[in-house]
């Protein structure tokens, strides 16, 4: 329910300063300052105040204050927490003490209109869904019964149901193979020879020429090479299936029994049907 927090100031500078403090600290629907030039003539202004206050007598006090040159600051809020904080701030901004101001005006001969007259002047402009909290008024009672209804909303989430983990690793295994290796060896030996050379052999110059003989030794050694082949493969796969599951639960909702035949309530001083309430900053 929308609520309107109000405070009265003797000067526009004070009202503007309070408005700036609220705008810098709170997220309110709207903040406005009402003076003699707002909402047309006195009748239009009175009708506008009636749409906020209804039959609450603070309406006539604020109307009289504006008529005497004061400035009314109005801030709309949607929750109790912001309402209480805003009232606390306004109490620190030099707002008018309504009870003291009313007392001073009564001493001068001013008489506020009765609650019944205020209710009649408000007419059909009263909305009945708007609350009003005054930083200088009195506290009236208001109670709320929320009508709650639950709705069943079924979602889904992914949970772990197990699975498989496959780890591959490399293992070394010793192996043996046989191979025949060939080696060559060069040997030099002296063999005794006793052979007489004839005259013809002496004429052979090759027997007395320089000669060089080279012979190379060779050997075979083992050469290791490795060849890898894929013998088999392990395949890890996952499949998905879907099924429909029926979810059973309960939901709650508020039922309200209204008994309009109760008697004995005294509603002459306040009109709770208007939704108006306030509280006194001096309490």
The pLDDT value given to residue 118: 39
CA–CA gap between residue 82 and residue 27 (Å, rounded): 9
CA–CA gap between residue 119 and residue 267 (Å, rounded): 12
CA–CA gap between residue 58 and residue 101 (Å, rounded): 12
The pLDDT value given to residue 203: 75
**Do residues 47 and 125 lie in contact, with contact meaning Cβ atoms separated by under 8 Å?**
yes
CA–CA gap between residue 138 and residue 191 (Å, rounded): 145
Which two three-digit tokens encode residue 128? 């009945």
What is the mean pLDDT, run by run of 10 residues, along the chain of 283 residues?
80 87 74 77 70 66 84 81 80 83 86 50 34 44 78 87 88 92 91 82 76 91 90 90 91 86 44 36 36
The pLDDT value given to residue 200: 79
**Do residues 118 and 59 lie in contact, with contact meaning Cβ atoms separated by under 8 Å?**
yes
CA–CA gap between residue 27 and residue 244 (Å, rounded): 47
The pLDDT value given to residue 180: 94
The pLDDT value given to residue 182: 93
Phi–psi pair at 273, nearest 5 degrees: -65, -15
The pLDDT value given to residue 124: 29
The pLDDT value given to residue 172: 92
The CATH architecture one would assign to domain 2-150 is 2-Layer Sandwich (3.30)
The pLDDT value given to residue 218: 94
Domain parsing of the chain, residue ranges = 2-150
CB neighbour list of residue 274: distance below 8 Å, 6 or more residues apart: 53, 54, 55, 56, 126, 128
The pLDDT value given to residue 56: 60
């Amino acid at each position: 329910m929308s609520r309107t927090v109000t405070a009265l100031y003797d000067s526009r500078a004070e009202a503007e300063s309070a408005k700036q403090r609220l705008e810098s600290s709170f997220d309110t629907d709207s903040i406005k300052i009402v003076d003699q030039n707002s909402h047309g003539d006195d009748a239009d202004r009175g009708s506008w105040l009636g749409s906020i206050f209804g039959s609450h007598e603070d309406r006539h006090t604020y109307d009289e204050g504006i008529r005497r040159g004061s400035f009314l600051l109005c801030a709309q809020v949607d929750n109790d927490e912001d309402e209480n904080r805003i009232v606390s701030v306004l109490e620190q901004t030099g707002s008018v003490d309504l009870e003291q101001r009313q007392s001073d005006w009564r001493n001068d001969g001013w008489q506020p209109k009765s609650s019944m007259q205020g209710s009649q002047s408000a007419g059909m402009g009263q909305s009945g869904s708007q609350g009003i909290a005054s930083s200088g008024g009195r506290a009236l009672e208001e109670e709320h019964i929320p009508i709650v209804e639950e709705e069943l909303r079924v979602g889904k989430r992914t949970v772990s149901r197990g699975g498989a983990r496959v780890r591959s690793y490399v293992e070394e295994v010793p192996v043996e193979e046989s191979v025949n290796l060939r080696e060559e060896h060069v040997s030099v030996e002296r063999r005794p020879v006793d052979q007489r050379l004839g005259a013809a052999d002496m004429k052979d110059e090759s027997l007395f020429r320089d000669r060089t003989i080279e012979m190379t030794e060779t050997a075979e050694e083992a050469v290791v090479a490795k060849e890898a082949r894929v013998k088999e493969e392990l395949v890890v796969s996952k499949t998905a299936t879907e099924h429909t599951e029926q979810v059973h639960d309960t939901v709650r909702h508020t039922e309200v029994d209204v008994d309009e035949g109760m008697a004995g309530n005294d509603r002459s001083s306040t009109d709770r049907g208007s939704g108006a309430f306030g509280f006194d900053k001096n309490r």
